[in-house]
A and B are shown apart, each in its own frame.
Chain A
Amino acid sequence: SQQGEEDPQALSIQEGENATMNCSYKTSINNLQWYRQNSGRGLVHLILIRSNEREKHSGRLRVTLDTSKKSSSLLITASRAADTASYFCAMLISSGSARQLTFGSGTQLTVLP
């Protein structure tokens, strides 16, 4: 079962606009990671934010984390058509010896040229 929920499920914007995706989770985490997936195949790691961090930037990406609300957001600024993909948040939970990632349900982003 999915331990993370993302919204919106789908997002369609014009090139140049900003895209914001949100992720909520249920358990305590060590870190939260965002991945991108094209055409239902391999996942590309975008950015990782640790549980003691509140905000992180990488190029056009900005990630925030609010552990009190168990939520994170991914902002893509100045979007491009090539950003069209599915985006997933993934949590490294801090329960026992578990080291696997727990993924959210994903947001399908479409950037229109």
Chain B
Amino acid sequence: GAGVSQTPSNKVTEKGKYVELRCDPISGHTALYWYRQSLGQGPEFLIYFQGTGAADDSGLPNDRFFAVRPEGSVSTLKIQRTERGDSAVYLCASSLTSAGRDNEQFFGPGTRLTVL
């Protein structure tokens, strides 16, 4: 079956620009997570959705970052006024439900964002 997909796979933008990153979770998965991974580091949590609502956005670094999931499926991570420090791989994951005991998460291939 289809896994988590993310588009674009690579995004190069200029400092100060606005970008949108898209995530398509596994069909039927109600929980969706965004992580950010800098070079040589493990992924760090940004935000997660249970259904349409953001259940925990404590990992968003500042108010330039925002994410939506209006219909409880596809999610878009939005970054305003990009800075060079935003350059990283942005990973999306989904799980059947966030309430499950194990909460096994399945990851997409990521979007590599480069801010020049």
Contacts and interface: CB of A to CB of B under 8 A. Distances in A.
B27 interface: no
Contact of A98 (B43, B56, B109): B56
Contacts of A42: 91, 107-110
B103 interface: yes
A105 B44 CA distance: 10
Most buried by B among A43, A88, A105: A43
A106 B40 CA distance: 8
In this complex, the interface size class of chain A, counting residues with CB under 8 Å from chain B, is 20 to 34
A68 interface: no
B107 to A, nearest CB: 4
Interface string B26-65: 0000010101010111111100101000011001000000
Nearest to B47: A100
Nearest to B9: A41
B17 to A, nearest CB: 23
Interface residues of B, number: 32
Given A43-B43, A105-B41, A106-B42, A100 B91 contact: no
A102 B91 contact: no
A92 B98 CA distance: 11
A57 interface: no
B102 A45 contact: no
B37 A99 contact: no
Interface in B85-116: 89, 91, 93, 98-99, 101-110, 112
A59 interface: no
Given A30-B101, A41-B89, A48-B102, A100 B42 contact: no
Contact of A4 (B40, B42, B45, B48): B42
Contacts of A31: 102-103
Given A92-B102, A99-B56, 15 more contacts: A1-B44, A2-B42, A30-B102, A31-B103, A40-B89, A42-B107, A43-B91, A43-B107, A90-B42, A92-B103, A99-B31, A99-B50, A100-B45, A100-B56, A103-B44
